[in-house]
Chains A and B, each alone.
Chain A
Amino acid sequence: AQKVTQAQTEISVVEKEDVTLDCVYETRDTTYYLFWYKQPPSGELVFLIRRNSFDEQNEISGRYSWNFQKSTSSFNFTITASQVVDSAVYFCALSDITQGGSEKLVFGKGMKLTVNP
């Protein structure tokens, strides 16, 4: 069975601090995708990044960066120089790449980030 664990439930930082959100996953599949989604107070899930299991190259996009390590089954997300607008709940998710499969997402419990001015 697939499982995603976000050990941190809530983090509060001061603006301009860097913050790292941890994600550990479990799957028996050899091919899969990993995701990060953001859920602001409005409630709509916003897609941030997708990574497939063949690609362990880390990625940076503006203030966001992602560290995928297959050896430790981790897919951590770092926000550099956090801003108040980053305040939201962040979800890590996993999906298999089964041919013809539903591509359903398995989510972690989420981590609430509060960035204070």
Chain B
Amino acid sequence: GAGVSQSPRYKVAKRGQDVALRCDPISGHVSLFWYQQALGQGPEFLTYFQNEAQLDKSGLPSDRFFAERPEGSVSTLKIQRTQQEDSAVYLCASSSRDRTYNEQFFGPGTRLTVL
């Protein structure tokens, strides 16, 4: 079956450029998460959507980071005026919300390199 997909898989940007990373969650999954994974580190939470509502954006590192999920399915993480410290793998995960706890299924990630 189809899992979580992300595109592009790799992105190289010059410092100062804007980038947009896409996440296609598993069909029907209500919850969607974005995580940032720096080299040699564990993933760190960025933001959470329940359907189209962004309920938690406490992990976004600066106002250059913006995420949206306008129709409650596909989500886009946008980074404006990229900096070298933004270089990382950006992971998307989705889950249903029909049990006490719902496992998060992760996509393959987008590796962003800012030169």
Contact = CB atoms under 8 A, between A and B. Distances in A.
A102 B55 contact: yes
Interface stretch (B12-20, B21-29, B69-77, B94-102): B94-102
Contact of B33 (A50, A52, A91, A104): A104
A105 interface: yes
Given A44-B108, A103-B31, A103-B95, A109 B101 contact: no
Given A44-B109, A45-B106, A102-B55, A107 B44 contact: yes
A33 B31 CA distance: 17
Contacts of A105: 33, 35, 43, 45, 104
A112 B109 CA distance: 19
Contacts of B35: 105
Interface in A77-117: 91, 93, 95, 97, 102-110
Interface string B39-61: 01111110010100001100100
B112 interface: no
Interface residues of B, number: 29
Interface residues of A, number: 24
Given A45-B91, A104-B45, 17 more contacts: A43-B111, A44-B108, A44-B109, A47-B104, A47-B105, A52-B101, A93-B42, A95-B101, A97-B100, A102-B31, A102-B50, A103-B31, A104-B33, A105-B35, A107-B43, A107-B44, A109-B41
Interface of B: 31, 33, 35, 40-45, 48, 50, 55-56, 59, 89, 91, 93, 95, 100-109, 111
